[in-house]
Amino acid sequence: MNVSTRLTSLRKNEMVSATHDPVLYKEILQALKPETNRLYVDGTLGAGGHSLGILEACAPAGKLLGLDVDPQALALARETLAPHEPRSILLQRSYTMLEATLKEIDWALVNGIVLDLGASSMQFDTPERGFSFRDDAPLDMRFDPTRAQNAADIVNTYSETELAEIIFRYGEERASRQIAKAIVRERPIRTTGELASVIKSVMPRKKGMRVHPATRTFQALRIAVNDEMGAIKSVLPQAMRVLAPGGRLAIISFHSLEDRLVKQYFRQESRDCLCPPKQPVCTCGHKALLKEINRKPIFPSDEETARNPRARSARLRVAEKL
């Protein structure tokens, strides 16, 4: 039974969509090369698809730490990984707490880390979570439901300037000012449907337009609610510090902002000197921490995108600790 079939068989009460499929699954396993007696971390556990593959590949003695702030994901992953329970530790925790968590469970260094950034399919497919405008639901968008601020708070309390900045920076939306102005004019806005309608009033969907006018704004709000860029910046140096020499970090991103952060960090930490090019003598003392396994991102195959259209924007970068 393959991973997708096994995951589908574990879904109960329509907790998540039956279309969930671990993105770049084969590529992740090829990148990490799991072996027995080794330690691995899945910092974005989700439904447990990547973790299941890692645990099967590192049997009989390899172990895995799985982290996720989403209790719904964690519950599903516990079912998915139940056959490997003695070799897995699953915690409701952010990957930004990677170093502290490893210290807590008495793991010094690990041999592989996988991060699948952004929202998961099951989050998009659960209307009440408020990630999607396909259904009219409360504006939420929190990965961690205990987080104080949700999307409605931002939409209804931030100034027009602050909203425009978020929409432009995190959504790369050219009409950010017009959208922000419309949001402030129509407040209060409490549901995903209301917000999508406000955005459409500013940006009517043109014939042949493939992307919904609200897509970039919803992405921007989700990133802001969950401080996704800050989380990535926090975890990258932690990951390098906890990887054993020869250990690998594999990161899947879904939009250019995430990928740019990962790319820039990998490029910087693969160089011995960061001094200006024209400086005759190095004074920074920087030493390379890693080598890039693939300088260009790895994309899903045509077969995978045909099976799982949501995978089409995924890209994978892999680095190895020196």
Question: Within 10 Å of residue 59's Cβ, how many Cβ atoms?
Answer: 12
- The DSSP output letter for 297 is P
32-51 pLDDT, tens per residue?
Answer: 999 999 999 999 999 999 99
d(CA 196, CA 212): 9
Share of the chain above pLDDT 70, in %: 92
- The phi, psi pair for 114, rounded to 5°, reads -120, 135
Closest by CA to 140, choosing from 62, 74, 70, 198, is 70
Give yes or no for a contact between 87 and 113, defined as CB atoms under 8 angstroms apart.
no
Give yes or no for a contact between 205 and 198, defined as CB atoms under 8 angstroms apart.
no
Question: Within 10 Å of residue 292's Cβ, how many Cβ atoms?
Answer: 15
d(CA 28, CA 208): 35
113-168 pLDDT, tens per residue?
Answer: 999 998 888 898 899 999 999 999 999 999 999 999 999 999 999 999 999 999 99
Tell me, what's the pLDDT at 122? 87
Report yes or no on whether pTM surpasses 0.85. Answer: yes
Please check the confidence at residue 104 and state whether its pLDDT lies above 70. yes
d(CA 110, CA 246): 10
Estimate the crossing angle of helix 228-242 against helix 215-226, to 10 degrees: 50
d(CA 2, CA 130): 31
Ordered structural domains, the chain, with CATH:
3-122+228-321 (3.40.50.150), 128-226 (1.10.150.170)
